[in-house]
Amino acid sequence: MAIEITDANYKELMADTSKPVVIDFWATWCGPCRMVGPVIEELAAEYEGKVVIGKCNVDENEDLTMEFGIRNIPTILFFKNGQLVDKQVGSAPKPVFVQKIEALL
């Protein structure tokens, strides 16, 4: 299951892991977010132990949303060694996410 990433736990999460991190920025009212959500959950299960996959609600976490300049949702950010290395804006089929995650490993 994808973990909840918040303004409060983001820095600690990034400091405590050497694994790649994927963050889905979403909102409950966003139609495309509801399409991507189940894919993110599947990926969290498939890559458990290898990649940290989480979700950040933009309505509840304005600091992170502003820090990363999130203007459209869903936006999925991909981090390696604590650095932002890739992103996907808008929904996409699962193989797109798999390819981006595999590039982190």
Torsion of CA 17, 26, 1, 21, to 10 degrees: -20
* Given the residues 2, 5, 21, 33, the one annotated as active site: 33
Q: Which CATH fold topology does 3-104 show?
A: Glutaredoxin (3.40.30)
Q: Which of 21, 30, 58, 104 is catalytic?
A: 30
pTM of the predicted protein model: 0.95
Does position 105 have pLDDT exceeding 90, yes or no?
Answer: yes
Residue 52 scores a pLDDT above 90:
yes
Q: Give the burial class of 80: count Cβ atoms within 10 A of its Cβ; 0-12 exposed, 13-18 middle, 19 or more buried.
A: middle
What's the confidence (pLDDT) of residue 27? 97
Q: What is the pLDDT of residue 16?
A: 84
3-state secondary structure of 62: helix
Q: Give pLDDT, residue 17.
A: 87
23 contact partners, CB below 8 Å, separation of at least 6: 5, 53, 54, 55, 56, 76, 77, 79
Task: State residue 102's pLDDT score.
Answer: 97
Distance CA 105, CA 101 (A): 7
- Per-residue pLDDT, 37: 95
Instruction: Give the pair of three-digit tokens for residue 71.
Output: 């203007």
- The reply to whether 56 belongs to the active site is no
